[in-house]
């Protein structure tokens, strides 16, 4: 009989021990370890993403660009690393360029997350198949990553670039990534970004580009130094045509359009960046700081025309003279044209002569008469004496050393007679004139010879800038109300100050529109007869400065001519040197609806002096009316007395100023700045801000004044 071999115990089978589930345990452990590793890698990547974020500094470090009111570029400035990297966004660029860029560089830009895996696979396969690079796989986001920071051109650098691209995509939207590329794309030399390249090579903003121009701007970054049209126009043309040809083959551009674009010439020179209103632009950058764009109130068309005029005029300045011009729109107080000199790159051209303190000569006389008109001391037809007279030790003479006898105020202002102007200033008070001007926003300076307001102010014994003087004249055009000038588009209108009443302002316009024209202009040449322009000229002592400021209902134009170093120009008068330029500037300005100004209802319009009230028929100087004020003694400052040291109390900073005597109302002026009107009160308050010396002046209704020089010191 057969004997069955003994059954050997089977080796241990894990499946029998666990009901068939034992083999899954090692696999589970491996998956678990892989998951942990993957999670750790993800955590590390996330941590690295925040610990080592991409640096967007270069994209934010852009050239400061100063713009005209319509967005036209006036002047740009290099970045700290000496690049032309102008602010630009998608809305500033022709959509045709953007379509070509995406079609040529990154067709799936809107769909990928920074890395185009399909493009990378295709590029790798082509490289293996052809034993060399056939096409690239860098997305626009990857290119932005390389433009933001230096990345080596090797395998390690490519990995860094990929990581950075993903980081960028998590932080910026697609439009923001495109903005960064438009700003940073290398365009040859120190030109970066499509806007800078468009201006430098095409001479225009990139808002409207032809197909050929758009293709050129797409092609240059492929090899920025080799494809520069200013250095290698033929190579630039080949690069442009390659872009057009490839996009035509892919169906992005019609063949006929591409062939026509290939026939367009390529620019062969680099064009200088826009350079208008350079002084105003430079000061805007200093005042507003290093920001992307600063929009001003400048009218680009008028600015271009004015600069063209000054360039033509510069040829006639053979004696080292120069010109400055300021044009203001009266209703808004906006500066619409500004020239600080005729040649910014000349020996002294970078000095802003429109903001230099200079003597205005007789150009302040209208404000003297305007105040007197306001006080009902004068009328344009009032008779006034032009005869030899001394005001203490001061004995003014006319320019021709002669005298005209008795004339009307109108004729005195037309002929710019000195004695009548000084006599009227003596009546209203030079401190009051200075207060009216400084309250209107003008800055005044005094020489060591004239340490403060005095009668020589009538003839130019004070310093003022062309900008401030033109601003004051615009106040006359605005019915006597002046506002601070506005240079920036976002600048709100400033506080209004009244220089004089509307009647006085109209009297000045009516008188000054009849000012004698310069030689050669009286026979119909000059101002466009479609508008009435009132103007006044001025010539400083020694022929150092020649001025003319003219105003119409809509515009005010100020012109200064002279030498930057202040040396004399014998024979150069405001009427002959500056007035013709002012007239030519007005010819460049838009026409005006109103030919002149309508007389206010309260204006006293008469045919001759005899029709005036008796009190206005003849002007009485101060010495003749002194007896009228005998019943009221002149003002005296009771506190603080002259020479006093006044302690300041931080708990009660207000300082009481008190006067005795004086005809009411009283006006107080501290360090050249007027305080609020004290009215019929003999005292007012002033709040000093710092220690030091101050000059306190009180002026009464008769123009008499008293002054105290004091020292301010904080209490211990």
- Whether residue 235 sits in one domain with residue 378: no
Q: Is residue 294 within 8 Å of 64, Cβ to Cβ?
A: yes
| pLDDT at residue 17 in the model | 44
| pLDDT at residue 333 in the model | 98
- Which residues span the domain enclosing 642? 631-714
| Intervals of the chain under pLDDT 50 | 1-3, 6-20, 41, 126, 131-135, 524-526, 624-630
Q: Is residue 17 part of a domain?
A: no
Give me the CATH number covering residue 680.
Answer: 2.60.40.10
Transcribe 404-430 into DSSP letters: -EEEEHHHHHHTT-HHHHHHHHHHH-H
Q: Is residue 599 within 8 Å of 510, Cβ to Cβ?
A: yes
- Whether residue 649 sits in one domain with residue 611: no
Q: Is residue 706 within 8 Å of 637, Cβ to Cβ?
A: yes
- Whether residue 197 sits in one domain with residue 117: yes
Nearest to 422 by CA among 397, 387, 458, 378: 458
pTM (predicted TM-score): 0.80
Measured CA distances, 609 to 381, 382, 383 (Å): 5, 6, 7
Q: Is residue 245 part of a domain?
A: yes
- Whether residue 685 sits in one domain with residue 595: no
Active site (annotated) includes residue 105:
yes
Q: Is residue 372 within 8 Å of 558, Cβ to Cβ?
A: no
Q: Which of 362, 416, 540, 705 is catalytic?
A: 362
The whole-angstrom separation of Cα 19 and Cα 128 is 51
Q: Is residue 393 part of a domain?
A: yes
User: What is the residue whose two structure tokens read 């200033």?
Assistant: 425
Q: Is residue 37 part of a domain?
A: no
* Rg of the Cα atoms in the chain: 39
DSSP β-ladder status, 481-482 and 405-408: unpaired
Q: Is residue 415 part of a domain?
A: yes
Q: What is the pLDDT of residues 572-630, one digit of tens each?
A: 899 999 999 999 999 999 999 877 789 999 899 999 999 999 889 999 886 544 444 44
- Whether residue 506 sits in one domain with residue 635: no
Examine the fold and report which residue of 588, 616, 644 is the final residue of a domain before the chain moves on.
616
Counted domains in the chain: 3
The whole-angstrom separation of Cα 461 and Cα 542 is 13
Nearest to 216 by CA among 387, 100, 317: 100
The whole-angstrom separation of Cα 202 and Cα 216 is 10
- Whether residue 372 sits in one domain with residue 251: no
Q: Is residue 27 part of a domain?
A: no
Q: C-alpha dihedral over 340, 344, 348, 352, to 10 degrees?
A: 20
- Whether residue 649 sits in one domain with residue 609: no
Q: Is residue 246 part of a domain?
A: yes
| pLDDT at residue 12 in the model | 46
Active site (annotated) includes residue 362:
yes
Q: Is residue 425 within 8 Å of 458, Cβ to Cβ?
A: yes
Phi then psi dihedrals of residue 448, to 5 deg: -65, -25
The whole-angstrom separation of Cα 498 and Cα 439 is 9
- Whether residue 609 sits in one domain with residue 638: no
Q: Is residue 369 within 8 Å of 428, Cβ to Cβ?
A: no
User: What is the residue whose two structure tokens read 């003749």?
Assistant: 624
Give me the CATH number covering residue 486.
Answer: 3.40.710.10
The burial class, CB within 10 Å (0-12 / 13-18 / 19+), for 27 is exposed
Q: Which of 63, 105, 467, 708 is catalytic?
A: 105
Neighbours of 604 (CB within 10 A): 15
Transcribe 84-152 into DSSP letters: EE----GGGS-HHHHHHHHHHH-TTTTTSSS--HHHHHHHHHHHHHHTS--S----HHHHHHHHHS---
| pLDDT at residue 551 in the model | 97
Transcribe 507-547 into DSSP letters: HHHHHHTTPPPPTT-TTS-SS-TTS--EEEEEE-GGG-EEE
- Whether residue 642 sits in one domain with residue 602: no
| pLDDT at residue 44 in the model | 57
Q: Is residue 526 within 8 Å of 396, Cβ to Cβ?
A: no
Q: Is residue 372 part of a domain?
A: yes
Examine the fold and report which residue of 214, 243, 262 is the final residue of a domain before the chain moves on.
262
The whole-angstrom separation of Cα 577 and Cα 316 is 11
- Whether residue 535 sits in one domain with residue 424: yes
- Whether residue 668 sits in one domain with residue 548: no
Examine the fold and report which residue of 262, 284, 303 is the final residue of a domain before the chain moves on.
262
The whole-angstrom separation of Cα 299 and Cα 395 is 46
- Whether residue 392 sits in one domain with residue 243: no
Q: Is residue 313 within 8 Å of 536, Cβ to Cβ?
A: no
């Amino acid at each position: 009989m057969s004997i069955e071999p003994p059954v050997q115990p089977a080796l241990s089978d894990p499946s029998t021990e666990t009901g068939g589930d034992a083999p899954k345990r090692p696999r589970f452990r491996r998956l678990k370890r892989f998951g942990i590793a993957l999670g750790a890698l993800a955590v590390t990547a996330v941590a690295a993403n925040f610990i080592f974020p991409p640096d967007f500094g270069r994209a934010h470090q852009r050239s400061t660009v100063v713009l005209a009111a319509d967005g036209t570029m006036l002047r740009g400035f290099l970045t700290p690393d000496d690049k032309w990297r102008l602010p630009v966004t998608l809305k500033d660029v022709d959509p045709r360029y953007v379509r070509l860029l995406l079609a040529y560089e990154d067709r799936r830009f809107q769909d990928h997350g920074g890395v185009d895996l399909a493009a990378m696979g295709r590029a790798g396969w082509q490289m293996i198949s052809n034993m060399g690079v056939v096409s690239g796989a860098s997305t626009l986001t990857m290119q932005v990553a390389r433009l933001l920071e230096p990345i080596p051109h090797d395998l390690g650098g490519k990995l860094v670039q990929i990581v950075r691209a993903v980081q960028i995509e998590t932080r910026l939207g697609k439009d923001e990534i495109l903005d960064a590329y438009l700003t940073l794309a290398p365009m040859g030399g120190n030109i970066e970004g499509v806007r800078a390249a468009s201006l430098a090579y095409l001479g225009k903003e990139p808002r409207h580009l032809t197909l050929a121009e758009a293709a050129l701007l797409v092609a240059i970054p492929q090899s920025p130094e080799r494809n520069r049209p200013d250095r290698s126009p033929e190579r630039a043309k080949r690069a442009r045509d390659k872009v057009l040809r490839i996009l035509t083959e892919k169906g992005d551009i019609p063949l006929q359009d591409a062939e026509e674009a290939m026939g367009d010439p390529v620019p062969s020179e680099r064009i200088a960046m826009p350079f208008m209103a350079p002084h105003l632009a430079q000061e805007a950058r200093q005042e507003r700081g290093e920001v992307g764009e600063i929009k001003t109130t400048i009218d680009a068309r008028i600015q271009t025309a004015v600069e063209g005029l000054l360039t033509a005029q510069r040829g006639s300045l053979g004696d080292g003279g120069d010109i400055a011009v300021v044009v203001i729109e009266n209703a808004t107080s906006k500066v619409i044209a500004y020239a600080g000199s005729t040649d910014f790159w000349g020996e002294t051209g970078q000095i802003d002569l429109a903001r230099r303190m200079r003597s205005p000569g007789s150009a302040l006389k209208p404000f003297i008469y305007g105040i007197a008109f306001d006080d009902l001391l004068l009328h344009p037809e009032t008779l006034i004496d032009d005869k030899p007279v001394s005001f203490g030790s001061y004995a003014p003479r006319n320019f021709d050393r002669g005298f005209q006898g008795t004339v009307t105020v109108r004729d005195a202002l037309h002929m710019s007679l000195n004695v009548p102007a000084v006599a009227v200033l003596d009546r209203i008070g030079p401190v009051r004139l200075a207060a009216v001007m400084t309250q209107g926003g003008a800055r005044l300076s005094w020489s060591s010879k004239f340490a403060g307001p005095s009668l020589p102010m009538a003839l130019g014994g004070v310093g003022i800038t062309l900008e401030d003087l033109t601003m004051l004249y615009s106040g006359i055009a605005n019915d006597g109300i002046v506002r601070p000038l506005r240079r920036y588009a976002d600048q709100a209108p400033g506080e209004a100050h009244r220089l004089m009443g509307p009647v006085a302002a109209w009297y000045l316009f009516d008188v000054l529109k009849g000012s004698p024209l310069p030689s050669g202009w009286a026979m119909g040449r000059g101002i466009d007869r479609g508008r009435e322009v009132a103007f006044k000229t001025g010539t400083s002592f020694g022929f150092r400065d020649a001025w003319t400021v003219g105003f119409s209902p809509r515009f005010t134009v100020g012109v200064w001519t002279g030498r930057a170093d202040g040396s004399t120009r014998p024979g150069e008068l405001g009427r002959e040197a500056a007035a013709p330029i002012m007239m030519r500037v007005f010819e460049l300005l838009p026409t005006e609806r109103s030919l002149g100004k309508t007389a206010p209802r309260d204006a006293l319009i008469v045919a001759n002096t005899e029709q005036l009230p008796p009190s206005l028929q003849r002007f009485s100087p101060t010495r003749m009316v002194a007896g009228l004020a005998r019943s009221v003694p002149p003002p005296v400052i009771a506190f603080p007395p002259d020479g006093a040291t006044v302690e300041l109390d931080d708990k009660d900073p207000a300082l009481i100023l008190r006067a005795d005597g004086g005809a009411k109302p009283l006006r107080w002026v501290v360090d050249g700045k007027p305080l609020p009107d004290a009215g019929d009160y003999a005292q007012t308050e002033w709040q000093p801000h710092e220690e030091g010396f101050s000059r306190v002046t009180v002026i009464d209704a008769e123009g008499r004044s008293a002054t105290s020089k004091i020292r301010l010191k904080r209490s211990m």
